[in-house]
Structure 1
């Protein structure tokens, strides 16, 4: 047994970390006191640097505090993260979903949510192709990256499946109108399209 100089409790030797500079080979403070001192020292350093410091919350067993919203939620409200010390993500599922949508727009289309909402409002909230379904998917040119508008899921995927090719899309429209074109073979591998 050894007495901790911090909390003044008499504790088993396993409660003290090793320190080769001491006569008994152990630190003078127990592991709990060292951890508390380190956390307090860290918070003071961060505050001195002008950074916001979150106070440690009293979190019940099986729960975790979200870094973004600050709420304490059960482990079922978190995605798994094998590389984290507790095996859980740093943001709860709800915060991760909100940030995921925002980050997706910025990363893929260089748009903010407000800019996307303005585009949807300028289209009166509906897809500009079918004029029926709500506009929810950002459509863009895959070659230039330019955003063209906001479409419904079906119209956006149809354009993608047609390869973003206006000629193919026109032929598809002709086909739907009953004007199916039949290519005429002029030479091996060369077709003449109808006028």
Structure 2
């Protein structure tokens, strides 16, 4: 008798089903689970719900597609990054959700900010840069010595602070220069300059 077409009775639903309807279990005499796959899934769901845990419903996924656990959308493989270490060769989350998760992780790791705290900072600034008061606030500015977050700036103002190396004295001279009070240091000795007061 061929074991592949031999029927077997499920201990739970008491139906005679083909052997392919049962998962393998090496500790059993015939090498199969006592419950069929459907009964095993239902039993697992009931046990998890009894513990107060939620079990997500099984969603049919067509070939060439994958379901994202965050947005719960079924998307084609073109919406996923490759991942050689995963069992199916694709990342766990779709491109959009993965980018959002990486963004949240970056702000938490680098600045200690959650998305809600960042949104509050931007709202306190009315959504505009603290320095130029014109461009939208999009870049977190922080002190490179202490790591303390100072505010949210536009790209240009944040880059300008970096170019001035966060030195207030240099920025004050730059402001004086822009206001038309141009001055030049006086050479008093080789390599020694005197700055006007």
The answer to whether TM tops 0.5 is yes
Alpha-carbon separation, structure 2, partners of 1:123 and 1:21: 66
* CA displacement at 1:28 relative to structure 2: 4.3
Counterpart in the other structure of 1:27: 31
SS at match of 1:87: coil
Alpha-carbon separation, structure 2, partners of 1:101 and 1:135: 16
SS at match of 1:125: coil
SS at match of 1:79: coil
Which segment is superposed worse, 60-69 or 120-129? 120-129
Counterparts of residues 155-174 of structure 1 (less than 5 Å): 155-174=157-176
* CA displacement at 1:71 relative to structure 2: 1.4
Matching residue within 46, 53, 65 for 2:67: 65
TM-score by length of 2: 0.72
Matching residue within 132, 135, 145 for 1:133: 135
Is the 8 Å Cα contact of residues 142 and 151 (structure 2) preserved in structure 1? Answer: yes
Alpha-carbon separation, structure 2, partners of 1:45 and 1:140: 49
Counterpart in the other structure of 2:185: 182
* CA displacement at 1:139 relative to structure 2: 0.9
Is the 8 Å Cα contact of residues 66 and 72 (structure 1) preserved in structure 2? Answer: yes
Counterpart in the other structure of 1:146: 148
Alpha-carbon separation, structure 2, partners of 1:88 and 1:97: 15
SS at match of 1:88: coil
Deviation string 1:73-97 (CA, Å, 9 cap, x unpaired) is 1111222222211122222222223
Counterpart in the other structure of 1:9: 18
Cα pair distance change 1:122/1:21, threshold 3 Å: closer
Alpha-carbon separation, structure 1, partners of 2:54 and 2:19: 36
Alpha-carbon separation, structure 1, partners of 2:186 and 2:91: 56
Alpha-carbon separation, structure 2, partners of 1:146 and 1:74: 42
* CA displacement at 1:164 relative to structure 2: 1.5
Cα pair distance change 1:28/1:89, threshold 3 Å: closer
* CA displacement at 1:64 relative to structure 2: 1.0
Alpha-carbon separation, structure 1, partners of 2:163 and 2:92: 37
TM-score by length of 1: 0.73
Kindly report the root-mean-square deviation, in angstroms, between the aligned alpha carbons of the 2 structures: 3.5
Alpha-carbon separation, structure 1, partners of 2:189 and 2:194: 6
Q: Does 1:78 align with 2:91?
A: no
Alpha-carbon separation, structure 2, partners of 1:35 and 1:8: 10
